[in-house]
Structure 1
Amino acid sequence: MPTRRAVLSTTPLAALAALAACSSGTAAGEASPTGGGTTTGGFPRTVEHDLGRTELASAPQRVVCATDGAELCSLLALGVRPVGFGQRNDPLRPWVRELARGIPSYELAGETNFEQLAAWAPDLVLVQRGYATDQNLPTYSAIDPTVVTSFIDWRTNLEQVARAVGREQEAADRVAAVEASVAATAAALPAAARAVTVRTVAAFDDGSLYVLNDTSPAGKAAAALGLPPLPARATPDEAVEVLSAEQLVQLEGDLLVLLDFGAGRAATDALRAREGFQRLDVVRAGRVVELGEEESNQLYFDSVLTVEPNADLLARLVTEAAG
């Protein structure tokens, strides 16, 4: 099974990476100018990132995002509009949809369109690890200086992007605001809600099952809210764990959340029909919630724009479960 960094591939994990619905993209038109704002520190500077170090001679004016993933979220959160991006999801996910409205894009159905990236004449390329590898990084870098961002930690991703565009203070302010918002959500939780043990499971049409672990965005949100932890990570660099039919008892808790990553109703129905599933106390007590595809993807997507929505979603679910 591919690591979370390289989870941008085929198999059920591709859906878990929120790539199940590839985009048709908006038409690439005249490039929008990079957003205004102040820079922190000076240029030239060296930016350390997931695949090395990149020298930037001057503050970027035309930034391109290779995907609509966390690097696009971080850039927009810092107040910078790229001149273009590769769009995998059509429509864009709710957390980034309005911020990215009107920005040119191309359909990213798998491989990066390096010709389109070059046509936007960028002076900085941002790309998340997984799309950028040691093997293809020279191709990105041949277009212009490239910074490879984290796929597994929103703070690291935001800091990498901020360093690349000279927005360190904006990033620090955004982190502080997000953390304060989540802390306020946690403080408002009733004591009974804070005791609710949450378990998740996603079913796919090949019969495979996955649960989110404590390093997933949902797991991080649970920890920030002071909830009992999600299952501990057992597989290095993974935010999900494979669950066999013999391990269904691991889904026991106070609330079971069924996730939908685009596999279709049949996969969830097949899970519900399993005898081991029906015997679970949490199922027999009716403490099962089914989430739609957007909220499911949100709980797996690690970006500065999903931290607060994930905290709000979990807070609502455990409050309702606590009665």
Structure 2
Amino acid sequence: MLSRRSLLLGSAALAGLTACGEQRATPPGAVAAAAGGFPRTVRHELGETEVPAAPQRVVCGTDGGELCSLLALGVRPVGFGQRNDPLRPWVRDLAAGVETYPLASGETNFERLAVWQPDLLLVQDGFATDESMPLYSAIAPTVATSFIDWRENLRQVAAAVGREERAQELLGERDAAVAALAAGMPAEARGLRVQALTAFPDGSVYLLNSDSPLGKAAAALGLAPLPAPDTAGEAVNLLSAENVPLADGDLLLLLNFGPETDGTPELKASDVFRSLEVVRAGGVVDVREDDSHRFYFDSVLTVEPNTRLLGEIVTAAVR
């Protein structure tokens, strides 16, 4: 099953380390989290964490949603694990100059995290697991942030760093932007059936569901809902070959996560794909790699561009 662990997160390595007690000054360019209201207990994906004081040295486990939320809140981390090289466009400029370590293998380097001497770790759910949380927590108080819900991710990060007021502002700004995009949609788009598939070289095919960022954008724009999730907490449903017709609709987006993982040519050559009404009608759109990643990736930095791009694709299709 394609999941947050297999596509974008990978598995965290299980290696025990303890944090060094030596304190180090905040590096030049780092932005301290706002003071006030500490100590506090932060509820998150894997329970609760006590944050004893306003964090001064925040480290992100990945370049995922936790990093996006932190940067959007105006807090610059000391460092983070970098899965994507180069960083994806939506976070690249904001994270410029921040220290990183390679995370493409999906294995967390706990020793590297400890070297940064954080007083708070933010780690996306999937890297943070029941098994790995003790390893993170041995380094610093750790908050496991949501993978599937950018709003919850933002609230969790804001609670951990004392930026709740800014989080509420960001929520309002994003909601207003999405509402404006929805208001500008052509009447012909109302109820349009948009589906999105991604295929891999091993023959596996996945259908984005209503919990995916694309599914949320479709709902916000007044399009027909994407399929319900087969598995709670996952943004995609696995399709068997005989169930590929479930992807039929008025418009079919084909996502591509990179040349090494792209099975789209094989999918397009299959008889079952060619038999789809949307294919015969010319309603297939090939989505670029960065846009494909963004349609799968839920964060405060991607919700508005995702909605805008989907709106542009749909508007072009109905006019």
- Residue number in structure 2 paired with 1:101: 96
Residues of 2 paired with 1:122 and 1:258: CA distance?
40
Between the aligned partners of 2:27 and 2:109, the Cα distance in structure 1 is 16
1:165 is aligned to 161
Q: Which runs of 5+ in 1 are unaligned?
A: 20-29
Q: Does 1:77 align with 2:103?
A: no
Contact 1:204 1:267 in 2 (8 A): yes
For residues 293-316 of structure 1, the C-alpha deviation after alignment (integer angstroms, 9 at most, x for no partner) is 111110000111110011011101
What is the one-letter code of the residue matched to 1:8? R
Paired residues in the alignment total 303
- What secondary structure, in the 3-state scheme, does the structure 1 residue paired with 2:50 have? strand
Query: CA–CA distance in 2 between the matches of 1:32 and 1:279?
Result: 59
**d(CA) in 2 for partners of 1:106 and 1:265?**
23
Tell whether the 8 Å contact from 1:217 to 1:301 is kept in structure 2 after alignment: yes
Structure 1 stretch displaced more, 239-248 or 299-308: 239-248
TM superposition score normalised by structure 2: 0.90
2-side partners of 1:216 and 1:129: how far apart?
15
Q: Which runs of 5+ in 2 are unaligned?
A: 11-25
Deviates more, 1:161-170 or 1:55-64: 55-64
1:45 to 36, 40, 49: 40
Paired amino acid for 1:83 = V
Alpha-carbon shift at residue 95 of structure 1 (Å): 0.8
* Aligned residue identity for 1:91: P
Partners in 1 of 2:195 and 2:250 — Cα distance?
Answer: 8
In the TM superposition, what is the alpha-carbon distance from 1:53 to its structure 2 partner? Answer: 1.4
Secondary structure at 1:309 match in 2: helix
* Selected match of 1:148 from 141, 144, 169: 144
Partner in structure 2 of residue 271 of structure 1: 267
User: Which amino acid in the other structure matches residue 85 of structure 1?
Assistant: F
Counterpart residue identity of residue 257, structure 1: L
Q: Is the 8 A contact 2:151 2:300 kept in 1?
A: yes
Give the Cα separation in 2 of the matches to 1:199 and 1:63: 38
1:22 corresponds in structure 2 to none
Measure, in 2, the Cα distance between the counterparts of 1:273 and 1:265: 17
Q: State the match for 1:252 in structure 2.
A: 248
The answer to whether residue 190 in structure 2 is matched with residue 197 in structure 1 is: no
Alpha-carbon distance in structure 1 between the residues aligned to 2:192 and 2:316: 10
Answer yes or no: is the 8 Å Cα contact 1:35–1:81 preserved in 2: yes
**Match in the other structure for 2:228:** 232
Q: 2:180 aligns with which of 179, 184, 193?
A: 184
1:138-160 deviation digits (Å, cap 9, x = unpaired):
11111111111111110111000
- Using the alignment, how far apart are the partners of 1:188 and 1:97 within structure 2? 29
Deviation at 1:202, TM superposition (A): 0.8
Q: Which amino acid aligns with 1:197?
A: R
CA 1:128/1:212 → structure 2, altered by over 3 Å: closer, same or farther? same
- Structure 2 residue 202 is the aligned partner of structure 1 residue 206: yes
Q: Name the structure 2 match of 1:294.
A: 290
Give 3-state SS (helix, strand or coil) of 1:111's partner. Answer: coil
- For the 8 Å contact 1:32–1:83, the answer to whether it is kept is no
Report what 2:14 is aligned to: none
Distance in 2 (alpha carbons) for counterparts of 1:285 and 1:66: 44
Match of residue 261 from structure 1:
257
Deviation at 1:121, TM superposition (A): 1.3
Instruction: State the TM-score, normalized to the length of structure 1.
Output: 0.89
* Displacement after TM superposition at 1:125 (Å): 0.8
Equivalent pairs: percent with the same residue? 60
Q: Quote the Cα distance in structure 2 between the aligned partners of 1:32 and 1:52.
A: 33
